[in-house]
Chains A and B, each alone.
Chain A
Amino acid sequence: MTASTLAAGTATPSRWPGLLRRHSAMPLVIAAALLGTYLWVRSSRLDDIEQRSLNATTLLRLLRQHLELTAVTTVVVVVLAVGAGILLTRPALRWLAPGATALANIGQATPAIGLLVLLSIWLGIGFTTALIGLIAYAVLPVLQNTIVGINQVDRSLVQAGKGIGMSPLAVLVRVELPLALPVIMAGIRTALVLAVGVATLAAFINVGGLGELIVTGIKLQRASVLVTGAVLTAALALALDWLGGLISDLLRPRGVA
């Protein structure tokens, strides 16, 4: 058979070597940055104020708060935006898509701090307020990428699926979503990074998180606190983006570039 020259055997090569190659650099970079900061803080003499912020208990609490806020935001955004994106790509609702993205764009285009302040005037300060602000801010990339990701799936494949007798739901679940997954995942990663960054602003409305270090650092002019807060936030954003990339690659269906 001439075909045997086209692809050797039936086994597809393992994906692990490629994954390792693409994803091994980032953890090292993050570890190096954290270690460098730690050694620097360690080597300098800390005054009372600094010690109050830069201790394991406080740092872990802030990190936990930050992660909580980010995680809840991401889960809600994924459910809302992917769901809305799917609905907005159905033939009956497709005409609504431009309006919906424009609406989501308002959340994104408003300065994040302004959005939080406005929301807290309206809803009072607290976790829920911060959460709503973050969701409004992070919803656009996921919504947009879901719509784009589904719409870029070859129409002839959707027609083929329908044509051979797959139900609309089956076409969505087995054809459209798997083929749109890389693009949707890219949107989720963007949202994750945005959420980590914007969550620092939650400190301004008393919700805690790593932003508290930055706020303290600026207000009390303690560079070590400020830098620690900034580095931890950046490291967290990079780490989550890295995780998102890894998951995206693991979920990517075979045969999709």
Chain B
Amino acid sequence: MTDDVMISLENVSKRYRGQKAPAVENVSMTIRRGEIVVLVGPSGCGKTTTMKMINRLIEPSSGRICVDGADVTSLDGTELRRRIGYVIQQGGLFPHMSVATNVGMVPKMLGWSRRRIDERVDELLHLVGLEPGQYRNRLPRQLSGGQQQRVGVARALAADPPVMLMDEPFGATDPLTRDRLQNEFLRLQEKLQKTIVFVTHDFDEAIKMGTRIAVLGERSRIRQFDTPERLLAEPADKTVGQFIGAGAALKQLNLRRVDAVEWNEAELMHRDESPTAVLRRLDESGAWAVLTVDSERRPLRWVGPRDLEPGQTSLDGVGIPVAVVEPRATLQDALDAMLGAGCGASVVVDDDGRYRGVLDIESLMRAIRDMREVERDRDRGMAEAPPRLPRQSDGSRDSASVRTLESR
């Protein structure tokens, strides 16, 4: 076994007691150190069962699973699970314990000192973007869904496990929150470099989160195990194609991140400048609008010539509010933000919300054109080959209807 393999499954099967067909049949895969492998497939196909066998919440009926070179059946289950982070839908937080107690649970089991636990809890809450002073003593029900989810992630990270298992971790949150959690988590993962097995039934989420994606069919059979790019460009068979659904090009917006395309510069002006100065700047630069910022260079509003009336003395409340995206966000996020704000440009900001650049609809269109070229080349190349990307035959179904398989 090579050094960079973190988790390996060899011919793993699971048959639940009293059931004729196995829930998982003969699955083999290797997961490398530091990658996010997404298990994606329709509801009931055995994703959760496959994942739970890795930390022995479920014992396999046959086959072998190794984590970090050791056969998991040779280890004590509880000990094993302390070295593997575990996140489930809605965080699985204990409702009768404070945020701090929840997060500090594993360190406590490991016998850490009180002080060390407290420090670690604060550190982790910081890490997931929750101010410790404000949230440490709250009960889970005093948090929003997204915040609960973040605490769930913090709890899983408590003992700094090299491996994390995440079972539809962001499944119970609304789309906007889910996007934010996904972006935050990817940013976190850049720092942490954990080996992650991530289960979802949402193909868009798989594309966004996965270093590699395993598309699973019935009984967890692996239909294709590939990078998102290759999965979109070359679905292995009809079922995978169906799963990807229509609009593969549009989905590729999920693959490109904002920092991978060219940004433009906006004409920045401080919010305290006068309307006359704005008009002068618009005139000089030929820009369609200026971007007002505060003293920290955080973007506020777009102000165009038509937003300014004669005799106006201040820029307060003038213009349209900006849509902001982070460099880590996908082009899909950027497009959503633009559509949401009703404005053909998103402002790219750093972690502190400061201005970095502007992504406008033209750059986005250019990126889409590039991707369509790739797709067209591929379609031409596959013209004679039978497995073509199938289209939805039912005209009433659009690409949105295949976003989540489980909800249909």
Binding site for B on A (CB under 8 A): 1-4, 6-7, 10-12, 156-157, 159-168, 170, 174-175, 178-179, 253-256
Contacts and interface: CB of A to CB of B under 8 A. Distances in A.
A154 B248 CA distance: 39
A7 B143 CA distance: 8
A166 B78 contact: yes
Interface string B90-124: 10111111100000011001000000000000000
B92 A162 contact: no
B95 A164 contact: no
A167 B106 CA distance: 10
Contact of B142 (A2, A7, A160, A164): A7
A40 to B, nearest CB: 48
Please list the 7 inter-chain residue pairs (A to B) with the smallest Cβ-Cβ separation, ordered nearest first: A160-B92, A165-B82, A253-B96, A163-B86, A7-B142, A165-B81, A255-B139
30 contacts: A3-B135, A3-B143, A3-B144, A6-B144, A7-B142, A10-B134, A10-B135, A156-B88, A157-B94, A159-B88, A159-B92, A160-B92, A160-B94, A163-B57, A163-B86, A164-B106, A165-B81, A165-B82, A166-B106, A167-B109, A168-B78, A170-B109, A174-B94, A175-B94, A178-B96, A253-B96, A255-B95, A255-B96, A255-B140, A256-B95
Contact of B156 (A3, A4, A7, A164): A164
A214 B225 CA distance: 81
Contacts, number: 94
Which of B79, B89, B138 gathers the greatest number of chain A CB atoms within 10 Å?
B138
Nearest to A170: B109
B131 interface: yes
Contacts of B97: 174, 255
Contact of B88 (A163, A166, A168, A255): A163
Given A3-B134, A10-B137, A255-B139, A161 B94 contact: yes
A156 B92 contact: yes
Contacts of A1: 131, 134
Contacts of A10: 134-138
A165 B95 contact: no
Contacts of A175: 94
Contacts of A12: 139
B156 to A, nearest CB: 7
Interface of B: 52, 55, 57, 78-86, 88-90, 92-98, 105-106, 109, 131, 134-144, 147, 155-156, 159, 165
Given A164-B85, A165-B109, A256-B95, 8 more contacts: A10-B136, A156-B88, A156-B92, A157-B92, A163-B88, A164-B105, A167-B109, A174-B105
Contacts of B142: 6-7
A168 B57 CA distance: 12
Which of A156, A162, A253, A255 gathers the greatest number of chain B CB atoms within 10 Å?
A255
Contacts of B141: 255
A164 B155 contact: yes
B96 A167 contact: no
Contact of A179 (B95, B144, B156): B95
Contacts of A166: 78, 105-106, 109
A4 B131 CA distance: 11
A160 B88 contact: yes
B351 to A, nearest CB: 15
Contacts of A4: 134
A160 B78 CA distance: 12
Contacts of B138: 7, 10
Nearest to A252: B96
B94 A163 contact: no
A205 B256 CA distance: 86
A165 B106 contact: yes
B138 to A, nearest CB: 6
Contacts of A179: 95-96
Contacts of B55: 163
Contacts of A156: 88-90, 92
Contacts of B90: 156
Contacts of A167: 78, 109
A8 to B, nearest CB: 9
Contacts of B106: 164-166
Contacts of B93: 160
A179 B96 CA distance: 7
A179 B97 CA distance: 11
A163 B140 CA distance: 18
A178 B57 CA distance: 23
B95 to A, nearest CB: 5
Contacts of A174: 94, 97, 105
B107 to A, nearest CB: 10
Which of A159, A164, A170, A255 gathers the greatest number of chain B CB atoms within 10 Å?
A164
B47 to A, nearest CB: 15
Contacts of B85: 164
B78 A165 contact: yes
A7 B134 CA distance: 10
A158 B369 CA distance: 50
